Amino acid sequence: MKLIVAVDNNWAIGCKGHLLVSIPNDQKNFAMETTGKVVVYGRKTMETFPGGQPLRQRTNIVLSHNKDFKVKGAETVYSLEELLEKIKAYPTDDVYVVGGEEVYRELLPYCDTALVTKIDYKYEADAHFPDLDSDKEWRLTGESDVQTYFDLEYTYLKYSRIG
C-alpha cells in the first residue's frame, strides 16, 4: 500500500480542516497517480473534496468510526480490520492512503511507499504527518527537481520502507 501527501517544512498537512495550500500541478500529479486506483481516506478528508463527494474515476473507501455514515459512490468501512480485509481484493500497488492525519497515522505501518510533496514553507497548522526523515523505518529513495508555483518551491519525494 502507498500513501500520498503534501507537507510543509514542519510536516504539517492542514489547518482547520483545509489543505495548507492548493498547487495546481500537485493536484494534477495527485490525480494522475490515483486515477483508476483505490483511495482510502477518512470522512473529514472526504468533506474537503469538491462538493464533499468521493473522487471520480477511483474506487473510494472511507474509514469512519460512525456506523451510520454512508455515502453514495464510496464504500465505507468502520474499523482497521474491516479495511485491511476489504483492500485484500486489490493489488497492493493500486491502494493509496490519501488522508487525513488520523488515517495516515493509523495506516502508515501498513504502507511501503510514501509519495510526499514537500513544500518549502512553514504554515500555521493543526494537522501533521509523521516526520519520515527522522523515522528509521523509512528512507528517501527518490527526489524530483525543485518545482515552483509563484514564489513557492516544492519537491516530489519518494520514501520507501526499509527492511
pLDDT at residue number 124: 97
Count of other CB atoms within 10 angstroms of residue 6: 25
% of the chain at pLDDT higher than 90: 97
Judge contact between 141 and 30, C-beta under 8 A.
no
Tens digits of per-residue pLDDT, 26-74?
999 999 999 999 999 999 999 889 899 999 999 999 999 999 999 999 9
From the list 122, 121, 115, 95, the residue with the least C-alpha distance to 156 is 115
- Per the DSSP assignment, residues forming a β-bridge with 163 are none
Q: Based on the structure, what is the number of domains in the chain? A: 1
From the list 18, 2, 26, the residue with the least C-alpha distance to 97 is 2
Whole-number mean pLDDT of the chain? 96
Domain span holding position 127: 2-161
pLDDT mean over 142-159: 98
pLDDT at residue number 50: 87
From the list 135, 75, 74, 140, the residue with the least C-alpha distance to 105 is 135
Residue 163 has pLDDT above 80, yes or no: no
Domain containing 135 — which CATH number? 3.40.430.10
pLDDT at residue number 40: 98
- Per the DSSP assignment, residues forming a β-bridge with 88 are none
Residue 122 has pLDDT above 90, yes or no: yes
The three-state secondary structure class of 159 is strand
From the list 136, 91, 142, 89, the residue with the least C-alpha distance to 118 is 142
pLDDT mean over 109-137: 97
